[in-house]
Structure 1
């Protein structure tokens, strides 16, 4: 049987504020199961421009699965089995760096993992050999470059760097914890960046994070964090996130998988 020349779909994992993706031309929806259990939601198949995409709502639709209970392994496995080789993880984050306030868009370049107790690897159980992946650079640089070029071409304000501190949740952090994260070098804080990035690396998929700052991190403003503040930042910044996604799709779809 001849192989199709159709481009591989780009995977988009949407978080808080991106339960659904407007602008996508939906062509189908699939309920799937994996050896690691059920993913968070059905895979929504469609197109953004000329590029086929598969959208997955990280917290379910409706938004109901807390960060520490997301089945990250099932989500990444389902996307990989559907032919995805490049994944964009859209993340709502808190801003620590002084330039990264509410509604600011960030394409981070590093991550520090503070999570615990999550299913964080495919390499466990009855293995033939122990496997260690290189995770020096957790985000695929070619994919980052595509998204950075897209943001620049649109004239959107954004940051092309940032260390993402991934915390356990579901509670927000204390002011002292944010002081610690800042001392560690973190520019952003969120709850879903890991183990998602590492699992994508284990499956040899390009993975890039597109972060939207939805609040100042604890102690970085003169008031406590409220859902009204978060929702306002999402309303203000999500249109830019969607424009970057649309602008970068063709370039992301043309990327080759990372070398084995």
Structure 2
């Protein structure tokens, strides 16, 4: 039976693993050891949570071992993955503090923070191939599953394009204007590598994000708040959806394919 998994960002720490009684598991991969939190849902399905920045939070975006994380999820037979993140919003057409489902991605250079190609295929193997995007990086079936169960809380937006703006620094006003002009709607310092690598491992992916600030200099934000407070709001907006997915979600078919010679 395929398992379900979520990747959690800065806002969460151990809140979902604690709520669901998930226990830390060390998974050995060729990219290094990775901690994930695992357990069993009431229906008998294995469920997992991965805390991208570590617990306690100690990894900056460019310090994350993205390949080890992806390999660990493959090792536990993940059949559907929901990636969560707090994001900056680049357009007033999208609300803050309301969950959004990603539909596309801008990652101009397909590279990890260390400069290497964003791929699990670093040397020739029988498993390597070209990731062919028949439906895109985000699973339509998984997006539909999440939206159908939570249409009352997920923003009804036909197109939410994610921009990968690698950290660890914030982006300049000129950079954010550029991303918006290129068609981006939200951005953050993570997510994109996780999406690409999971697809190479044939794991269907959904991106469930929530805006905690407007990143465009011409858009006025709500009254000044500490980043910590906005992350709490972001966590509150998505926590129930992520918990429900782990408790009641279902794996979906992989909509892309790996072309192998």
Q: For the superposition of Structure 1 and Structure 2, which TM-score range results when normalised by the shorter chain?
A: 0.7 to 0.9
Residue 53 (structure 2) pairs with residue 59 (structure 1): yes
The CA RMSD over aligned residues, in Å, is 2.6
Native 8 Å contact 1:101 1:215 kept in 2:
no
Structure 2 distance, partners of 1:79, 1:128, is 20
Structure 1 distance, partners of 2:61, 2:232, is 21
Distance 1:69 1:192, change over 3 A: same
Native 8 Å contact 2:147 2:154 kept in 1:
no
The match for 1:103 is 97
The match for 1:235 is 232
Cα drift, residue 68 of structure 1: 1.6
Cα drift, residue 11 of structure 1: 1.0
The match for 2:177 is 179
Native 8 Å contact 1:34 1:74 kept in 2:
yes
The total of aligned residue pairs comes to: 249
Within a 5 Å distance, the mapping from 1:54-133 to structure 2 comes to 54-114=48-108, 116=111, 117-118=115-116, 120-127=118-125, 131-133=129-131
Structure 2 distance, partners of 1:47, 1:102, is 33
Q: What SS does structure 1 have at the residue aligned with 2:150?
A: helix
Name the stretch that deviates more: 54-63 or 13-22.
13-22
Unaligned runs of 5+ in 2: none
Distance 1:118 1:210, change over 3 A: farther
Distance 1:218 1:47, change over 3 A: farther
Residue 40 (structure 2) pairs with residue 43 (structure 1): no
Distance 1:244 1:238, change over 3 A: same
Q: Can you list the C-alpha shifts for 1:50-71, whole angstroms capped at 9, x where unaligned?
A: 4531011001111111112211
Q: TM-score, normalised by structure 2?
A: 0.85
Q: Can you list the C-alpha shifts for 1:25-72, whole angstroms capped at 9, x where unaligned?
A: 225321122101233xx2111245545310110011111111122111
Residue 242 (structure 2) pairs with residue 245 (structure 1): yes
Native 8 Å contact 1:24 1:47 kept in 2:
no
Q: Can you list the C-alpha shifts for 1:183-225, whole angstroms capped at 9, x where unaligned?
A: 00000011112211111111000011010111111414457x9
Structure 1 distance, partners of 2:94, 2:104, is 15
Residue 24 (structure 2) pairs with residue 29 (structure 1): yes
Native 8 Å contact 1:34 1:78 kept in 2:
yes
Distance 1:129 1:15, change over 3 A: closer
Q: Can you list the C-alpha shifts for 1:220-241, whole angstroms capped at 9, x where unaligned?
A: 4457x97x44322222232231
Native 8 Å contact 2:91 2:216 kept in 1:
no
Q: Which runs of 4+ in 1 moved over 6 A?
A: none
Structure 2 distance, partners of 1:177, 1:27, is 39
Q: Can you list the C-alpha shifts for 1:69-124, whole angstroms capped at 9, x where unaligned?
A: 21111001001101112111101100112133431221010000146425510112
Q: TM-score, normalised by structure 1?
A: 0.85
